[in-house]
Amino acid sequence: MPGEKILVIEDEHDIRELISYNLESEGYDIIKASSGNEGIEKVQKNVPDLILLDIMLPDIDGLEVCRKLKREDATKDIPIIMLTAKSEDSDIISGLELGAEDYITKPFSPRVLIARLRAVLRRNTDANEAESTVLTVHEIQIDAKKHEVLVEGENINLSATEFAILSHLATNPGWVFSRNQIIDAVRGQNYPVTERSVDVQILGIRKKLGSQGRYIETVRGVGYRIK
């Protein structure tokens, strides 16, 4: 909701000011950074509720910034929306693999940016306010309130998107979901993300679950399920 702190890491002055103006008009508290290193410094001094992060930056690129923030306990849960001038799957997939919650391809309209930002903040709030119910499938325990996954008693670090996908599959064991159905379930209908990105997220989940990852099955020509 308005009043939340948004860190905008964007090296192009005009774009940074345009984003800041529109978000401030909606009541958000804006922090600005023009480089990756400056952005990391500002996160450490004043932890934001969300980060808008450009991929192309003059010192370290946005992907490296994302990687560093997601590695640290103090910053790993901050939702990140990547801003990219490129539309290739490789850029989108790289950001999602590193734990970014969303991406927006330039040029974009302020209305779309605000809508997507609100959606990410809302999902983050909903996860924090969810009832404390623990879902168990095989040796996997999913705690919605704590946003925690335990595999054979060991805490597994999943990104927000990975957590949402795993929770959706685990809530409906045996059901097969297409990639588009998975996208709709965790992002909302008609969300502009590639099916290839879903495959990357599933691959990441399986890897992190270790031996329990085998229970996430690929149903050829259809999609995925937890058996």
- What is the band of 85 on the pLDDT scale with cuts at 50, 70, 90? confident
User: What is the model's pLDDT at position 3?
Assistant: 77
CATH number of the domain at 5-128, out of 3.20.20.30, 3.40.50.2300, 3.40.190.10, 3.90.1300.10?
Answer: 3.40.50.2300
Q: Please say whether the beta carbons of 140 and 149 come within 8 A.
A: yes
Domain boundaries, the chain: 5-128, 131-226
- Identical fold, 5-128 and 131-226: no
Report the share of the chain in percent with pLDDT over 70.
Answer: 90
Per-residue tokens: 29: 């508290």
For the stretch 96-112, pLDDT in tens is: 888 888 888 888 888 88
Q: Please say whether the beta carbons of 114 and 21 come within 8 A.
A: no
Task: Write the secondary structure of the chain as one string of H (helix), E (strand) and C (coil).
Answer: CCCCEEEEECCCHHHHHHHHHHHHHCCCEEEEECCHHHHHHHHHHCCCCEEEEECCCCCCCHHHHHHHHHHCCCCCCCCEEEEECCCCHHHHHHHHHCCCCEEEECCCCHHHHHHHHHHHHHHHHHHHHCCCCEEEECCEEEECCCCEEEECCEEECCCHHHHHHHHHHHHCCCCCEEHHHHHHHHHCCCCCCCHHHHHHHHHHHHHHHHHHHHHEEEECCCEEEEC
Rounded Cα distance, 96 and 100, in Å: 5
Q: Please say whether the beta carbons of 78 and 51 come within 8 A.
A: yes
User: What is the model's pLDDT at position 1?
Assistant: 53
Q: Given a cut of 90, is residue 18 above it in pLDDT? A: yes
First to last CA, the chain: 38
| Mean pLDDT in residue range 42-70 | 93
Domain over 131-226 is classified CATH 3.40.50.2300: no
User: What is the model's pLDDT at position 66?
Assistant: 94
